[in-house]
Amino acid sequence: MATGRTHRPATRSRGIPEATVARLPLYLRALTALSERSVPTVSSEELAAAAGVNSAKLRKDFSYLGSYGTRGVGYDVEYLVYQISRELGLTQDWPVVIVGIGNLGAALANYGGFASRGFRVAALIDADPAMAGKPVAGIPVQHTDELEKIIDDNGVSIGVIATPAGAAQQVCDRLVAAGVTSILNFAPTVLSVPDGVDVRKVDLSIELQILAFHEQRKAGEEAASEADAVPLAAKEAGKGPDGDVPAVMPA
Amino acid sequence: MATGRTHRPATRSRGIPEATVARLPLYLRALTALSERSVPTVSSEELAAAAGVNSAKLRKDFSYLGSYGTRGVGYDVEYLVYQISRELGLTQDWPVVIVGIGNLGAALANYGGFASRGFRVAALIDADPAMAGKPVAGIPVQHTDELEKIIDDNGVSIGVIATPAGAAQQVCDRLVAAGVTSILNFAPTVLSVPDGVDVRKVDLSIELQILAFHEQRKAGEEAASEADAVPLAAKEAGKGPDGDVPAVMPA
DNA sequence: CCTTGTGAATCCTTTCACAGCG
DNA sequence: CGCTGTGAAAGGATTCACAAGG
């Protein structure tokens, strides 16, 4: 969805479509579950159901990786787990730093899904001096002043931004300057980065707004009121209780 | 991305493309910022830059909503804010419940972006009896036993699941049975829901995995032609060539 | 037989480029 | 003029449906 702006036309090697890449982690998770239950093989139909997609799509996706299945039988679970992991770059482990240790940052630090998938939280960084030294998820928080040194010492190329919106671009710039080339942004802001740097964003309130759109549709399903003229009374001014708790701020 | 499976072919009224719907919140945020700075009008070019998209796309998106701009001038900020809010269903407010008040649930409860956008956290629900009554973000946590009553009393139609993966489907089923028709799922599981219920998921580790994929590509970039301009300071965090190959190989 | 792998058809999204209008 | 609104072209992604192969 939101990778860095116009990078090169298409990575030449074996261009795997972006939509397929986005689904590989899904397949990987379903396969891992099967693997844990010692299921030896799985058909595209079964795996697709477990991953919540349809089987034709899954087969097409796998066809970009190569021919890893056996006709009449299905896919070898262990082998596929390995191939997808390798394709995603998860056979090595990636040190990541999390910047902004509010509620959300702490949640991320504690999130088991990172560690179990080849990601290692190398450091937690926060601008609040009072946080410095305090352990979160067993890792001591370090002050922002150390950012460049931390990136450099740990060879970090992936950074997670969980600061308030106002601080995000600044943090981003420092991360990039220090050598980070992939950023996962939880702050509700558009980050601008130089070419070659990938940014993905997760925006909590946007997801809810999309749901609200569909919810509204459902509500007005029968007796479709075409009657809404245009009150224009945009009294919907930016409301009050904004500046409270940290984590992430609204726009 | 992940709305409920195949519901009706397309909402007949004025079918706004899904891709457009997903961008409306982005525009809304940029417009709100302009509104706060009392900017009266904005061109598609400027607004597109602020939202991080290109201007042709933005104009096409707006064209699905109607003709709200003025040629030679641009768009009236206040008016657009209102139109988009209305289209997204944000002129009413939506009571939501958050189930699973761990680190992530607490972060969500504290997240200002919800309240400021027409969403009201009606209740926090957790299965741990020890949490019951404890206030988080000023709202007392209630026990799961109360779930159905809470949904009913508050007329909640949107639920947020922030429980561990193992509990998610069960919670989902109860929410749906109680009348919730839109679910935002943070648990790393595929939820199955009946037709007519929308599910969107936010998966923290999937985003990182996608970044890792691209990061890996960048690392293998040099050695080939085009000396990319990107310093690529990544320090080669140890790591032999190809991790260990797992036991099973293909037939 | 059964299930994969894949051309071809279809559908959706983005981009182009310019006519049309304030 | 400048900027919107939009047909038309281009590019992706998804689905179909079936030949190929164990």
Helix (H) / strand (E) containing B27: helix B18-36
Question: Mean pLDDT in chain A?
Answer: 86
User: Closest nucleotide to B46's CA, by C1' atom?
Assistant: D3
| Rg, chain A, Cα only | 22
Q: Which positions in strand C are less than 7 Å from the protein's CB atoms?
A: 1-7, 12-17, 20-22
Helix (H) / strand (E) containing B218: helix B204-219
- Average pLDDT on A41-58 reads 98
Distance CA B82, CA A105 (A): 33
State the count of interchain CB pairs (< 8 A) between A and B.
Answer: 284
CB contact (8 A) between residue A79 and residue B246? yes
Residue A40: CB atoms within 10 A of its CB come to 11
User: Closest nucleotide to A23's CA, by C1' atom?
Assistant: D13
Assigned CATH topology for domain A18-88: Arc Repressor Mutant, subunit A (1.10.10)
Q: Is the C-beta atom of A11 closer than 7 angstroms to strand C? A: no
pLDDT above 60 (res A42)? yes
Beta bridge partners of A143: A126
Tell me the shortest Cα–Cα distance from B240 to chain A, in angstroms. Answer: 9
Instruction: Please tell me the predicted confidence (pLDDT) of residue B14.
Output: 65
Sequential pLDDT tens for chain B (251 residues): 333 333 333 333 469 999 999 999 999 999 999 999 999 999 999 999 999 999 999 999 999 999 999 999 999 999 999 999 999 999 999 999 999 999 999 999 999 888 878 999 999 999 999 999 999 999 999 999 999 999 999 999 999 999 999 999 999 999 999 999 999 999 999 999 999 999 999 998 999 999 999 999 998 765 444 433 333 333 333 233 333 333 333 32
Backbone angles phi, psi at A149, to 5 degrees: -65, -40
- Smallest CA–C1' distance to C4, residue: A71
Closest-CA residue to A133 (of A105, A91, A93, A101): A101
- Average pLDDT on A183-193 reads 97
B139-143 sheet: strands from edge to edge: B135-136, B139-143, B119-126, B94-99, B158-161, B182-185, B198-201
Distance CA B110, CA B126 (A): 16
- Smallest CA–C1' distance to D20, residue: A71
Distance CA B139, CA B125 (A): 10
Binding-site residues of B for NAD(+) sit at: 100-105
Distance CA A67, CA A83 (A): 11
CA distances in angstroms from B87 to A154, A173, A220, B2, B149, listed in the order given: 47, 35, 12, 20, 30
Closest-CA residue to A125 (of A154, A95, A102, A93): A102
pLDDT single digits (tens) B65-105: 999 999 999 999 999 999 999 999 999 999 999 999 999 99
Calculate the angstrom distance between C1' of D11 and CA of A84: 26
CB nearest A157 (choices: B108, B215, B229):
B215
CB nearest A232 (choices: B82, B217, B242):
B82
CB contact (8 A) between residue B90 and residue A188? no
Q: Which CATH superfamily is domain B94-204 in?
A: NAD(P)-binding Rossmann-like Domain (3.40.50.720)
CB nearest B218 (choices: A68, A181, A192):
A181
Instruction: Please tell me the predicted confidence (pLDDT) of residue B112.
Output: 84
Binding-site residues of A for NAD(+) sit at: 100-105
pLDDT above 50 (res A224)? no
Q: Is the C-beta atom of A45 closer than 7 angstroms to strand C? A: yes
- Average pLDDT on A134-146 reads 97
- Average pLDDT on A54-70 reads 97
SS3 label, residue B156: coil
Tell me the shortest Cα–Cα distance from A37 to chain B, in angstroms. Answer: 15
For residues A236-250, b (16+ Cβ closer than 10 Å) or e, as one string? beeeeeeeebbbbbb
Distance CA B42, CA B80 (A): 10
Tell me the shortest Cα–Cα distance from A129 to chain B, in angstroms. Answer: 21
What is the sign, positive or negative, of the torsion defined by CA atoms of A247, A248, A250, B1? negative
Query: Are the CB atoms for A223 and A207 separated by under 8 Å?
Result: no
User: Closest nucleotide to B15's CA, by C1' atom?
Assistant: C12
Beta bridge partners of B42: B75
The distance from CA A111 to its chain's CA centroid, rounded to whole angstroms, is 13
Residues of A in Cβ contact (< 8 Å) with B135: none
For residue A90, give both structure tokens: 């998860």
Backbone angles phi, psi at A97, to 5 degrees: -115, 145
Calculate the angstrom distance between C1' of C20 and CA of B72: 11
Residue boundaries of the structural domains of chain A: 18-88, 94-204
For residue A110, give both structure tokens: 């504690």
- pLDDT tier for residue A115 given thresholds of 50, 70 and 90: confident
Instruction: Please tell me the predicted confidence (pLDDT) of residue A240.
Output: 29
- Average pLDDT on A218-233 reads 50
Residue A19: CB atoms within 10 A of its CB come to 11
Calculate the angstrom distance between C1' of D3 and CA of A62: 45
Cβ < 7 Å from nucleic strand D: A 10, 17-20, 53-54, 56-57, 59-60, 70-72; B 43-45, 55-56, 59-60, 62-63, 67-75, 251
Instruction: Please tell me the predicted confidence (pLDDT) of residue A220.
Output: 76
Helix (H) / strand (E) containing A166: helix A165-178
The distance from CA A242 to its chain's CA centroid, rounded to whole angstroms, is 26
- Average pLDDT on A142-160 reads 98
Calculate the angstrom distance between C1' of C9 and CA of A178: 49
Which is more confidently placed, A220 or A114? A114
SS3 label, residue B51: helix
